């Protein structure tokens, strides 16, 4: 059997709020609770198990690979939800998306403060793309 990533635990102050936020933005479903966990499973079978905790939560980063059509839907939901977005993890390009590797990418926070990212091409898939480093304004972004 080859090694596959199966699941991770996402710490949050409110598992329902965070799980529903991610599921809504990505067009996924929230699963049935399993003990202290509330799962959201991606198309490739990886589960993010949201857990409510009452401790200081370190910021984590979660990136999701989607199709171009799915990216359009995600971007539309971010705009409709007035979720702040940016083209880079440092926030130097607010209200913009990136065009790295000839695809599109966007960063945005979840309710717990974790950094989420949606991309249409894996990093390094087109290192010579003339679009690397290019950003585009998202007209309806906050």
* Position 73 confidence tier, pLDDT thresholds 50, 70, 90: very high
Q: Are 49 and 37 in contact (CB under 8 A)?
A: yes
* Assigned token pair, 132: 């690397």
Among 68, 117, 107, which residue's Cα sits nearest to residue 84? Answer: 107
* Assigned token pair, 70: 């799915």
Identify the pLDDT of residue 63: 98
* Digit-coded pLDDT (tens) for 95-138: 999 999 999 999 999 999 999 999 999 999 999 999 999 999 99
Tally Cβ neighbours within 10 Å of residue 77.
14
Residue 1 has pLDDT above 80, yes or no: no
Among 101, 104, 99, 105, which residue's Cα sits nearest to residue 126? Answer: 101
Tally Cβ neighbours within 10 Å of residue 130.
9
Among 95, 103, 101, 102, which residue's Cα sits nearest to residue 137? Answer: 95
* Position 68 confidence tier, pLDDT thresholds 50, 70, 90: very high
């Amino acid at each position: 059997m080859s090694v596959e990533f199966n699941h991770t635990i996402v710490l949050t102050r409110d598992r329902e709020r965070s799980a529903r936020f991610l599921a809504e933005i990505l067009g996924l479903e929230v699963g049935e609770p399993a003990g202290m966990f509330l799962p959201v499973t991606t198309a490739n079978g990886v589960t993010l198990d949201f857990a409510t905790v009452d401790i200081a939560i370190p910021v984590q980063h979660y990136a999701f690979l989607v199709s171009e059509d799915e990216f359009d839907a995600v971007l539309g939901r971010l705009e409709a939800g007035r979720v702040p977005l940016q083209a880079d993890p440092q926030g130097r390009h607010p209200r913009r998306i990136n065009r790295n590797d000839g695809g599109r990418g966007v960063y945005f926070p979840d309710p717990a403060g974790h950094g989420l990212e949606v991309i249409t091409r894996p990093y390094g898939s087109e290192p010579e793309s003339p679009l690397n480093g290019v950003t585009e304004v998202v007209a309806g972004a906050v």
